[in-house]
Amino acid sequence: MSSYDLSSILIVLLPIVSFVTLSVFGKRIKPSISGVLGTMSLAITLVLALYVAYGYFFDFGMQAGAHVKHIALQFQWLKFNENLSIDLGIVLDPISVMMLVVITAVSTMVHLYSINYMHGEERFTMYYAYLSLFTFSMLGLVVAVNIFQMYIFWELVGVSSFLLIGYYYTKPSAIAAAKKAFIVTRFADLGFLIGILMLSYGAKTLDFFTLIERLTQPNSVYLASFAGSSFLGLSALSWALLLVFTGGAGKSAMFPLHIWLPDAMEGPTPVSALIHAATMVVAGVFLVGRLFPIFAISAPDALHIVGYIGGFTALFAAIIACTQTDIKRVLAYSTISQIAFMMFALGVSGWGEESEGFTASMFHLFTHAFFKALLFLGAGAVIHAVHSNEMEDMGGLRKALPITHITFLLACLAIAGVPPFAGFFSKEAILSAAFHGNSLIFYVGLFTSCLTAFYMFRLYFRIFWYNPVKEDHHNHEGHTWPMNIALIILAFGAVFAGLIPFGHFVSADGKPIELPFHLTFSIAPVLLGIAGILLAYVMYGEKNEMPDKLTASISGLYRAAYRKFYIDEVYLFVTKKVLFNLVGRPAAWFDRNVVDGMINGYASITTMSSESIKPMQSGRLQSYTMFFLGGVLLVAALLVIKFM
Amino acid sequence: MEQVPLTHVLILSSTLFFLGIYGFFSRRNLITMLMSIELILNSININFVAFNKYLYPHQLEGVFFTLFIITVAAAEVSLSIAIIINLFRRFNTIDIEDTNTLKF
Amino acid sequence: MSASTIIFYILAALTLTFGALTVFSRKIFRAAVFLLLSLICIAGIYILMEMDFVAALQIVIYVGGIVVLIIFSIFLTQKAGERLPSRLPKRLLWAILLPVAGLAFSSWVIFNHPFAQTGTAPIEPTVHNIGLQLLNYDQYGYVLPFEAVSILLLASLVGSIIIAMKKKQQ
């Protein structure tokens, strides 16, 4: 076992060790120590992840001109029959190594940041324990060798997300949000599970790589029988992949399963940065990326559906983001929109020569993790300072929070796609892939990136400019150096992550590709982005009448977007009015009257019969002896008749 | 010596037995019930002695059983009276109708 | 009909009469006395059957011990001369019916069963013979039941003392 393999095992094990330690000895460890402990273990994990990434990309990963998968660890856990078994293990390939770096980096920053942010919370140690649990689950998810291993960790991620959203469990809205997130994603995971079962039935294996191999070889018997049967115009394989995608859409908050993500902002802000911006929500993208060869080669129609859903969600979420006033919700919708970018990048991608969309998607995943985590952490710093989520309470904070201001600006520039920041490169790659793949999605993406620039700078100006600077605002950042360090490190990522020649490392088939970069192509998106920024400046740079006038002139659309296009209401209508009345109530009636009635019937029959024979136990000695004598006489009579 | 037929002795004993049974059923006083039990035991003793005398004169088993029954009856009566006295102390009555708390 | 037969029938009639009076008497002290008389008559029947030892035991233990004990307990728990409460009519039906049925049944069995005498050489049931066999530990010896019964007697002695003892006031 090489040192790389050992490191990769340690990467996965360290967080769970930290979780167990913190949760078992939580009561005895001082909060300050537990924070440092969690952060230290994650920092070690980050170093190991970087070491493994270095080793994989520059040492042992490249074979015959392509990055190949490397199984660092694999053992059989549960065996069903000769072919079908659930294995646990660690696989290193371009996307999993890339995810290892992203997760450990963002998680370390969030751990560091939380030392300050969560200072003085009652269940500080448990918070760190949950964070470690989440990190463990997420790492286990990305290194899964087996689709079922992925599913197990997928659910673990859901559980830790539930725990962290509901961290402030005395707040009813937090409880409701945690339940909503759990139920919606769980509902989506049902699709994932059915998809897994269909895939394993079709390919007779649960192993990722055997699965991919059996379902992509042109002369494979599995593929022929699987793709041969069709339902409603789509092949069984497409249906299986779409069901798997449903699980991914639930975790990644694709329309119409996005409703949980904005509410999940009830959790502590660092949690939102880690789980609901940088790592967990991209699990869906990662899932599609993991099965990408099957999507691209064997079921392109399923991939197109993924692309359309991604495109629609991107636009839809961006429009809502323009109207929200809670800064975390703006960021939440922005996250949905950005993940949808990744999703449609996958959707427009092809295989082989045309697979730049895959690389672009992963690239955007990589850069987005940094700048979106930075945005959330910055927003957390703002909330920490003003104790409110609402834009109304902010404005003119640039003097009070100088480091937050600068890093937030850098992150906004990155997400708006202004060169040479990280988001520019990845977004250009996505738009270029869309331009070659599907023109409708391309134009939607173009418009959405303009909207992105607008709403991000709306947020920026509303927080840091808009109102005049208050003179009595003292500097809030002096004593919060862990927060500032985390912000600065992430800002470096947000600025420079785009300069990595990503195509050399990550591609669909492992062969390095060159991401196309044409200056002429970039002009339109960049100009649109800058236009969005300028518009935001004109409207929100200083307090003026324009936003109100504009909202008044398109009040119908504005109100619809403000109310998130009534999706929540539709869900409520469907679940409460339709499902409850048509399914729930009859089922409840059946349960109460028929099922319970039977049980109660048995019980009352028993009671009645016992009531009727109870007087036999009268406590009267003479009755007992009478029965006894009667019985003896009867038995004696029977014996006499029988034998005399 | 002309002997009384065995059946007559048995009729005597079984009549005495069922008299005892009747007393046991109909009495409400614990001591009178105890007396009925004594009658029952005695009727059985008569039976044993009669069988020994009439049917198995070469053995003494009937005598022994009578003997043991008498002994056990003595033990039983002493215990019963102890219980009755205890009951009387606690409930201030020895009426069977009032001492029926051992029930459902 | 010899004298002993006549005496038997007289004793049997007396036994049944006194037994019935024991059962039917409404005065508890009288019931006890009738029981005593009935037991004496049974002892007479034993003498008629030439079981002198058993008759002696009957007098000593029953008449001298048990009935005296019963009378003592009557004195302890009952006001003398008080009439016993009347029987419950509901119970009375079964209390009559069951013994009558039982009597009818057993009489039927007694009259229909052919009792056959076995054995030829009768043993005299003298105290000598009884004592020898009772304390014999060879085959057909009764020494083990004898010991068991003596332990039983000891246990009941201790037990009745403990049960009847006055509990300390708590």
Q: How far apart are CA A15 and CA A131, in angstroms?
A: 9
Q: What CATH number corresponds to the domain at position B72?
A: 1.10.287.3510
Q: Which of A142, A305, A157 is closest to A208 using CA atoms?
A: A142
Q: Can you tell me the mean pLDDT for A64-84?
A: 79
Q: For residue B1, what pLDDT band results from cuts at 50, 70 and 90?
A: very low
A74 versus B35: the higher-pLDDT residue is B35
Residue A478: the pLDDT is 58
Range with the lowest mean pLDDT among A433-447, A595-609, A623-637?
A433-447
CA-based radius of gyration for chain C: 21
Alpha helix segments (H runs only) across A465-592: 481-496, 502-505, 519-540, 546-553, 555-562, 567-572, 585-589
Q: For residue A259, what pLDDT band results from cuts at 50, 70 and 90?
A: confident
The distance of A625 to chain B (nearest Cα, Å) reads: 8
SS3 sequence of A381-443: HHHHHHCCCEHHHCCCCCCCCHHHHHHHHHHHHHHHCCCCCHHHHHHHHHHHHHHHHCHHHHH
Domains present along chain C, CATH in parentheses: 3-108+123-164 (1.20.120.1200)
Q: How far apart are CA A219 and CA A95, in angstroms?
A: 27
Q: For residue A470, what pLDDT band results from cuts at 50, 70 and 90?
A: low
Q: Is the dihedral of CA A465, A466, A470, A476 positive or negative?
A: negative
Residue B39: the pLDDT is 93
| Domain membership flag for residue B96 | no
What is the count of structural domains for chain B? 1
Does the pLDDT at position A60 exceed 90?
no
Residue C80: the pLDDT is 60
Among A460-464, C7-11, C85-89, top mean pLDDT goes to C7-11
Alpha helix segments (H runs only) across chain B: 6-26, 30-54, 61-91
Average pLDDT of chain A, as a whole number: 83
Q: How far apart are CA C13 and CA B104, in angstroms?
A: 44
The distance of B1 to chain A (nearest Cα, Å) reads: 33
Q: Do B14 and C119 make contact, defined as CB atoms within 8 angstroms?
A: no
With a CB cutoff of 8 Å and minimum separation 6, the contacts of A15 are A41, A42, A45, A132, A133, A135, A136, A139
Task: Work out how many CB contacts closer than 8 A connect A with B.
Answer: 22
What's the ipTM?
0.90
Among A173-177, A315-319, A602-606, top mean pLDDT goes to A602-606
Q: Which of A343, A364, A342, A355 is closest to A417 using CA atoms?
A: A364
- Shortest CA distance from B1: residue in chain C: C2
Neighbours of chain A (3+ CB pairs under 8 A): B, C
Q: Do A621 and B96 make contact, defined as CB atoms within 8 angstroms?
A: yes
**Per-residue DSSP letters for C13-73?**
HHHHHHHHHHHH-SBHHHHHHHHHHHHHHHHHHHHHTT-HHHHHHIIIIIIIIIHHHHHHH
Q: Can you tell me the mean pLDDT for A251-269?
A: 83
- Shortest CA distance from A634: residue in chain C: C102
Range with the lowest mean pLDDT among A93-102, A132-141, A174-183, A398-407?
A398-407
| Domain membership flag for residue B101 | no
With a CB cutoff of 8 Å and minimum separation 6, the contacts of C138 are none
| % of chain A surpassing 90 pLDDT | 4
Chain C partners within 8 Å of B64 (Cβ): 130, 133-134, 142, 145
Range of the domain at B63: 6-91
C32 versus A57: the higher-pLDDT residue is C32
Residue A470, H or E segment: none
Does the pLDDT at position A491 exceed 90?
no
Chain C partners within 8 Å of A636 (Cβ): 105
Q: Do A620 and B101 make contact, defined as CB atoms within 8 angstroms?
A: no
Q: Can you tell me the mean pLDDT for C97-111?
A: 91
CA-based radius of gyration for chain B: 17
Range with the lowest mean pLDDT among A351-360, A438-447, B79-88?
A351-360
- Shortest CA distance from C93: residue in chain B: B26
The distance of C102 to chain A (nearest Cα, Å) reads: 7
Task: Work out how many CB contacts closer than 8 A connect B with C.
Answer: 225
| Domain membership flag for residue B33 | yes
Chain C partners within 8 Å of B57 (Cβ): 117, 119, 122-123
State how far the alpha carbon of A109 is from the alpha carbons of A497, A526, A560, C16, in Å: 16, 30, 37, 108
Q: Can you tell me the mean pLDDT for A561-569?
A: 73
Write out the two tokens for A39.
């952060």
**Chain centroid to CA A602:** 48
With a CB cutoff of 8 Å and minimum separation 6, the contacts of A602 are none
Does the pLDDT at position A475 exceed 70?
no
Residue C81: the pLDDT is 64
| Domain membership flag for residue B100 | no
The distance of A25 to chain C (nearest Cα, Å) reads: 52
Q: A261-277 in b/e burial notation, b at 16+ Cβ within 10 A? A: bbbbbbbbbbbbbbbbb
Q: Do A626 and C101 make contact, defined as CB atoms within 8 angstroms?
A: no
- Shortest CA distance from C95: residue in chain A: A626
The distance of B36 to chain A (nearest Cα, Å) reads: 13
Q: Can you tell me the mean pLDDT for B79-83?
A: 90
Does the pLDDT at position A328 exceed 50?
yes
Chain C partners within 8 Å of A640 (Cβ): 109
Of A617, A618, A622, nearest to B25 by CB-CB distance is A622
Range with the lowest mean pLDDT among A286-290, A510-514, B81-85?
A510-514
